Structure 1
Amino acid sequence: MWLSLDLGNSQLKWGLRQVGTWILQGRLPLTLLDQLEVEWRALPPIRAAHGVSVAHPDLRVRVESACQGLLGLAPCWHSSPPSEGGLRNGYDHPAQLGPDRWMALQGAWHLQHRASLVVMAGTATTLDSLDEKGNFLGGMILPGLSLMRRSLHQGTAYLPAIEKGTYTLQARSTRDAIQSGALAATLGALELARDALGQGGDRVPVFLGGGHHAELSPHLEGPLYVYPELVLEGLALLMEGDQARI
């Protein structure tokens, strides 16, 4: 069994996988990492742990300590190389690409070898373009939906803090106007990126993951593939492919 780790800006996501099947998956807010002892206490023997991290190094050390103390192994942390798993990294400086974005791209590519827009809707929203030859062309980073809503409250005198509202282009309450603005900004950027990637007028598929996937998916036309833990999916598929080539 393999343990996959996605240490993000606000949560640790993890999954236990065997022979191409997820046995268990879980997530913890970074403020509750002490609970890993409870979460992982009953896990079966694990062969190896592989992960990506965009969190503060101190948090990574805490996860490493939990892996060593509870599971008896040290995780292998992955970065973004110039090429890997059939993909080529088009960033000017490939190592600067967030490894979570790279693994989400790996997930989309290994699931369907075709041009696609890879969207991770979490603390930040990333929109990454992949062509039909496996070239990562580049992407965009936006504030995530919660971050957009929260910034309006923090940066103004009277706008309220909200978590959700109703999406409409002619909102008649401040709550709905904030929700609609955040969603419309994200959907507009997504459609611009999708149109730029389109092949001969065809709409490229969107691979959508991240904690806010359920807010975005009802407003997206197909083809659409929703994988809430797309980063873990990409990491696992990459590792399984490497193992098959050994």
Structure 2
Amino acid sequence: MLLTIDAGNTNTVFALIDGKNIVEQWRISTGDQRTAEEYMVWISQLMALHNRKTDDVEGAIIASVVPQVVWPLTQLCKKYFNCKPMIVGAPDIDLGVDVRITNPQEVGADRLVNAVAANAIYGAPLVIVDFGTATTFDVVGEDGAYLGGLICPGINLSLSALHQAAAKLPRIAVIAPDTDRVTGKTTQEAMQFGVFWGYVGMIEGLVDRLKAEHREDMKILATGGLAPIFANRTDAIDEVSGELTLEGLRLIYERNS
């Protein structure tokens, strides 16, 4: 089986992939002080609960937007899974996609992995909207090249900023309103409606601008935990893919094996 590790700013997702099937998936908060031994104590218990063994893992691949965690994750793979992991972004790893931006090294590994998967599964041209710590828009051209994109504050980040900066505003969760009404009648409604419909407006406006700029009828693909909430309330999103990054990691690993 293949061990894939997607280290994001907020969470790190570990998955076991057997062939083309994601058979296990676990999530832990991303911590730049965590050691290989700490990772192993945690993941070994989860593997045991699901009757998985370290010997089942034949290879590993890591994508990280947090440079500090790459070393302990690499040591985890070498010491406890007996394999040297592929690192997305390393010079010897071929992504199979042409990165056409000013400085390709600046692009987050997860964004490139998503572009690889989206092009392979859905076909280009397309825009990937990823609802993570940041909300990102990534453009894949008709020939499959990565053309750049946009980085916006994430939804939870925006809510946290509202709560911390305004003394009378409570901490609230992101939910889809059960109404199409935009005017909030309470402070909580005003915050929930403002964030939700504000992001819907942002998505629709940016998608329209990207389509006009590239002069193409691009497929709009959403991923990330909050993607289904927004996809159900706007026609700007065509498809939702919850496992896009993991699929991309599998495809990159297969390409470089």
How does the TM-score come out when normalised to structure 2? Answer: 0.82
Does residue 144 (structure 1) correspond to residue 157 (structure 2)? The answer is no
CA deviation digits over 1:55-104, x for unaligned, max 9?
250x33333333234312232211187x9544221221001000111101
Runs of 5+ consecutive residues of structure 2 not aligned to the other structure: 32-37
Is the 1:88–1:136 Cα contact (8 Å) retained in structure 2?
A: yes
Counterpart AA for 1:176: E
Contact kept? 1:165, 1:180, Cα under 8 Å: no
After superposition, the Cα gap between the structure-2 partners of 1:192 and 1:4, relative to the gap in structure 1 and judged at 3 Å, is same
Distance 1:8 1:165 in 2: 22
Distance 1:107 1:221 in 2: 23
Amino acid at match of 1:151: A
SS of the residue 1:195 aligns to? helix
Q: How far apart in 2 are the matches of 1:187 and 1:18?
A: 37
CA distance in 2 between partners of 1:87 and 1:48 (Å):
22
- Say if 1:77 and 1:85 are closer, same or farther in 2 by CA, change over 3 A: closer
2:187 to 147, 171, 174: 174
Could you give the per-residue CA deviations for residues 159-208 of structure 1, whole angstroms, max 9, x where no partner exists? Answer: 11111355342121222222222223332332233223438987532221
Q: Partner residue of 2:45?
A: 38
SS in 2 for 1:159: coil
Partner residue of 1:75?
Answer: 85
SS in 1 for 2:61: strand
Task: Call closer, same or farther: CA 1:68–1:40 in 2, change over 3 Å.
Answer: farther
Deviation at 1:38, TM superposition (A): 1.3
Give the whole-Å Cα distance in 2 for the aligned partners of 1:77 and 1:134.
22
One-letter identity of the residue aligned with 1:39:
L
Letter paired with 2:114: A
Match of residue 188, structure 1, among 201, 204, 209:
201
Q: Is structure 2 residue 211 aligned with structure 1 residue 198?
A: yes
Q: Which residue of 1 aligns with 2:226?
A: 212
Query: Once superposed, what is the RMSD of the aligned Cα atoms?
Result: 2.7
Equivalent residue letter for 1:16: L
Give % identity. Answer: 26
Instruction: Map 1:1-246 to 2 at 5 A.
Output: 1-30=1-30, 33=39, 35-41=42-48, 42-43=52-53, 44-57=55-68, 59-79=69-89, 85-165=95-175, 167=177, 168-198=181-211, 203-221=217-235, 224-243=238-257
TM-score after normalising by structure 1: 0.85
Q: Identify unmatched segments of 5+ residues in structure 1.
A: none
Q: Give the total of aligned pairs.
A: 241
